[in-house]
């Protein structure tokens, strides 16, 4: 089979703009961190207010901005469903640092610490005291 002479059009890699204006939350919005990617444009999010919500990536962001595990995002809360929300924007690491320095995101907010504490509490509830002298 002969080789193709033309290689075709090269794909351009899109990078996030570095000089983007920082977006703060408004009424009906909240900051959140991605806990788990569920597929089909959905994520499990830990919001700063302490509620774990199911987040949908909005259509305009779906194929342009890739959201990964442990990314910080801005979500729009729904009035009629408290356990669901819509992902509005994704923050880069520099933007998260800026939000923490301005006091928008508390420095103590860490999703991994909360998950570990909840798992330890569940394990303590399930464990039965065991005494080796009984054997």
Please say if the pLDDT value at position 115 is more than 60.
no
Partners of 33 in the β-ladder: 46, 72
pTM equals 0.69
pLDDT per position as a tens digit, 8-57: 666 666 665 667 899 999 999 999 999 999 989 999 999 999 899 999 99
* Dihedral over Cα of 69, 97, 78, 47: its sign: positive
pLDDT per position as a tens digit, 61-104: 888 889 999 999 999 999 999 999 999 999 998 999 999 999 99
Q: Is 15 helix (H, G, I), strand (E, B) or coil?
A: coil
Residue 128, CA distances (Å) to 60, 83, 119 in order: 51, 34, 16
Interatomic CA distance for residues 21 and 34, integer angstroms: 22
């Amino acid at each position: 089979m002969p080789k193709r002479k033309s290689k075709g059009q090269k794909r351009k890699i899109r990078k996030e703009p570095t000089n983007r204006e920082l977006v703060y939350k408004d009424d009906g919005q909240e900051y959140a961190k991605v806990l788990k990617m569920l597929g089909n444009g959905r994520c499990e999010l830990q919001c700063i207010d302490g509620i774990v919500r199911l987040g949908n990536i909005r259509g305009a962001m779906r194929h342009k901005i890739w959201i990964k595990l442990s990314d910080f995002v801005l979500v729009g809360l729904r009035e009629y469903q408290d356990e669901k929300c819509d992902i509005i924007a994704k923050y880069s690491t520099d933007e998260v640092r800026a939000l923490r320095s301005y006091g928008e995101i508390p420095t103590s907010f860490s999703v991994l610490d909360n998950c570990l504490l909840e798992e330890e509490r569940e394990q303590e509830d399930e464990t039965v005291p065991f005494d080796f002298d009984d054997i």
